[in-house]
Amino acid sequence: MTGLRLASPGRRTAAKRRWSGHLRSPLVAGAMIIPFLALAAFAMAAPVGMLLLEAFRDAAGFTFGNVAALARPAYRLAAWNSVTLSLASALLSLAAGAALAFVAGREGSRLGTAVASFSAVAAHFGGVPLAFAFVSSLGFQGLLTRGLKAIGLDFYAIGFSLYSLAGLTIVYAYFLTPLAILVLGPSIRALRADWLLAATSLGATPGQRLRLVILPILAPSLVSSFLLLFGSALSGYATAYALTSGNIVLLTTEIGNVLSGDVASAPGIGAALSLAMIAIMTLLLLLARRFNRRAWTRPR
């Protein structure tokens, strides 16, 4: 077979090294990140810029009236309810998700795979179907409610209501817990058993192992997961509106009301409410960043 020339392994290796070196150059790296920056600008920076423009203008021009309207009692109550709901549901789902992820990660691969598969499906179960499921089960005439009444347990008799802020917290925690399992699972599985064995051999109690070994290692993941859960709860709209019909005022439901009001829409106030949500999340991100920095720089 004359005329067929094959490159030697040395030449192929040298060509790969030259190509790898080209990819590592600052110019090529900057060119490859341009699509990501363009997508981020289109999906994040542009909407925020439009919100800023809309929040500080009306039909007459520049105004602070939209932002000043946030001091109204209804909007202050909406902010309080949103923060309370997001905080409570995020903490509940974080605790439940961490416990389930820890048990699944320690019991074996089959259980871990089953929990991860169920969580991947349940994490997408939200909105109107989730509200209907809870009304059918925990509503005033729900199947579970009637079954508990048959054995003498009546939660509604002691003041519980699915259509209250407490009931909405349970619903939110239900669909946020699978998300917490998915996010915390890899970090918990990365915990090495010899770390716990070493702490036990030094005389550490179960509480000390949790406080001095497990929590410091998982702290960044827990904080990041809490931010994700809090943001998901804060931005929820369909479930809350379908379950309470707008009787519990939240920032998201108020944004929907001012944008599609029966009398007149107020897009400027809706943009100001959206900026308030962004401000809440930005404050939490700054606090979490400071906490993580202190956790990494704290002497061991």
Return the pLDDT at 1: 46
Return the pLDDT at 159: 82
Instruction: Report yes or no on 31 lying in a domain.
Output: no
Instruction: Report yes or no on 224 lying in a domain.
Output: yes
Q: What is the pLDDT of residues 50-59, one digit of tens each?
A: 888 888 888 7
Q: What is the pLDDT of residues 92-118, one digit of tens each?
A: 999 999 888 888 776 556 777 777 778
Instruction: Report yes or no on 53 lying in a domain.
Output: no
Asked if 267 and 258 count as a contact pair (C-beta separation under 8 A), the reply is: yes
Instruction: Report yes or no on 150 lying in a domain.
Output: yes
The parent domain of residue 161 ranges over 69-297
Return the pLDDT at 84: 95
CATH of the domain at 193: 1.10.3720.10
Number of domains in the chain: 1
Instruction: Report yes or no on 39 lying in a domain.
Output: no
Instruction: Report yes or no on 161 lying in a domain.
Output: yes
Return the pLDDT at 81: 94
Instruction: Report yes or no on 22 lying in a domain.
Output: no
Asked if 130 and 174 count as a contact pair (C-beta separation under 8 A), the reply is: yes
Return the pLDDT at 161: 86
Q: What is the pLDDT of residues 137-192, one digit of tens each?
A: 888 888 888 888 888 888 888 888 888 899 999 999 998 999 998 888 888 887 77
Q: What is the pLDDT of residues 62-93, one digit of tens each?
A: 888 888 888 999 999 999 999 999 999 999 99
